[in-house]
């Protein structure tokens, strides 16, 4: 049975977010846009107030709320004249980690996301030659001993410059060797500080979408095996949890 919507609780969330957003008026957001900048002060304050940790379980320092509450938070940012596109990545990327990450991964990452020590704002899925058919991605992650070696390319990847971690989808089994085309892809949690310049290159894209976006190049990027989220080959199903949350 679906629990009834607590409209009073949702209204309290709206009031809280609205109060935080009040000092960040049109001048603030226009200045960010004109400079092609990132609203560091706003994002930091939203994090300190706990709003970006809404979906993180209380055991890991979050509020333990659901997708409805998270959606209301982002909706209210936009309603107040801001741009929730700068922060929504952390909400939906966490869905993949929350549902499919190991206990060790969640214990190591989620409290630091909740406190603002880390940001998980980026997801590397889209590629130049695959369009919307994610099953045809060409970026590969080949297991060699205690490492996965990643090669390939991603495009239109947002907020890399303002994130510490990135969810990455890559093929661990060639498309020709799987029975179902959605099989054989895996999810990795990439430490961007360790990856950039060590097998991963970031090329910013000039654009008019209101936030930074990039092309990523992987050339023998090595990822420890414990960066794999969930079971190898099940990544397409895992990534849908994040993408479906994003669409909401």
Q: How many domains does the chain have?
A: 2
Residues 78 and 157 in one domain: no
Q: Would you state the structure tokens that stand for residue 31, as one six-digit string?
A: 């200045």
| CATH at residue 161 | 2.40.110.10
Under a CB-based contact definition with an 8 Å cutoff, are residues 169 and 142 in contact?
Answer: no
At 113 the pLDDT is 94
Query: Does some domain include residue 114?
Result: no
Instruction: Please check whether residue 115 lies inside any domain of the structure.
Output: no
Return the structure tokens found at 96: 């993949």
The answer to whether 246 is a known catalytic residue is yes
Q: Are 140 and 171 in contact (CB under 8 A)?
A: yes
Gap between the Cα atoms of 171 and 224, Å rounded: 16
Tell me, yes or no, whether 136 and 209 share the same domain.
yes
Do 167 and 52 share a structural domain?
no
In a domain, residue 170? The reply is yes
Are residue 152 and residue 216 in the same domain, yes or no? yes
- 159 and 227 belong to one structural domain: yes
CATH number, domain containing residue 95: 1.10.540.10
Give the span between the Cα atoms of 134 and 156, in whole angstroms. Answer: 14
172-187: b (≥16 Cβ within 10 Å) or e: bbeeeeeeeeebbbbb
| Residue 94, CB-side half-sphere exposure with 13 Å CA sphere | 28
Cα angle at 229 between 220 and 181, to 5 degrees? 75
**Structural domain contains residue 25:** yes
- Domain hosting 130: range is 121-247
Q: Is the pTM of this model over 0.85?
A: yes
Looking at the structure, tell me whether residues 125 and 242 fall in a common domain. yes
Looking at the fold, whether 29 and 58 belong to one and the same domain comes out as yes
Same domain for 17 and 79, yes or no, is yes
Q: Is residue 110 part of a domain?
A: no
- The verdict on 46 and 125 lying in the same domain is no
Quote the CA–CA distance of 195 and 192 in Å, as a whole number: 5
What is residue 191's DSSP assignment? Answer: E
- Are 165 and 119 in contact by the 8 Å Cβ rule? The answer is yes
Same domain, 127 and 243: yes
Single residue among 68, 102, 136 that ends a domain in this structure: 102
CA 81 to each of CA 18, 45, 128: distance values in angstroms, whole numbers, following the listed order: 10, 16, 32
The one catalytic residue in 75, 215, 232, 246 is 246
Question: What pLDDT sits at residue 172?
Answer: 98
CA distance 1 to 184: 35
Tell me, yes or no, whether 126 and 236 share the same domain: yes
Q: What is the DSSP string of 115-168?
A: HTSS-EEEEE---TTTTT-GGG---EEEEETTEEEEEEEEEEEESGGG-SEEEE
Whether 153 and 216 share a structural domain: yes
Q: What is the CA radius of gyration of the chain?
A: 18
Which of the residues in the chain have pLDDT under 50? none
- Check residue 2 and give its pLDDT: 67
């Amino acid at each position: 049975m679906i629990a009834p919507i607590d409209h009073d609780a949702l209204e309290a969330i709206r009031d809280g977010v609205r109060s935080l957003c009040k000092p960040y008026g049109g001048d603030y957001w226009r200045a960010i846009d004109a400079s092609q900048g990132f609203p560091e002060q706003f994002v930091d304050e939203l994090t300190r107030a706990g709003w970006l940790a809404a979906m993180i379980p209380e055991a890991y320092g979050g509020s333990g709320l659901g997708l409805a509450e998270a959606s209301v938070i982002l909706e209210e940012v936009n309603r107040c004249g801001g741009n929730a596109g700068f922060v929504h990545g952390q909400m939906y990327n966490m869905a993949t980690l929350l549902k499919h990450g190991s206990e060790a991964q969640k214990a190591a990452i989620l409290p630091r996301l909740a406190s603002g020590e880390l940001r998980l704002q980026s997801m590397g899925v889209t590629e130049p030659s695959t369009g919307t058919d994610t099953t045809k991605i060409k970026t590969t992650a080949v297991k060699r001993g205690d490492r996965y070696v990643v090669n390939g390319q991603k495009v239109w990847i947002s907020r890399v410059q303002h994130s510490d971690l990135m969810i990455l989808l890559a093929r661990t089994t060639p498309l020709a060797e799987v029975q179902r085309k959605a099989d054989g892809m895996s999810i990795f949690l990439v430490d961007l500080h360790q990856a950039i310049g060590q097998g991963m290159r970031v090329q910013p894209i000039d654009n008019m979408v209101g936030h930074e976006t990039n092309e990523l190049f992987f050339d023998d990027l090595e990822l420890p095996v414990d960066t794999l989220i969930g079971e190898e080959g099940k990544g397409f199903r895992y990534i849908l949890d994040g993408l479906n949350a994003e669409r909401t």
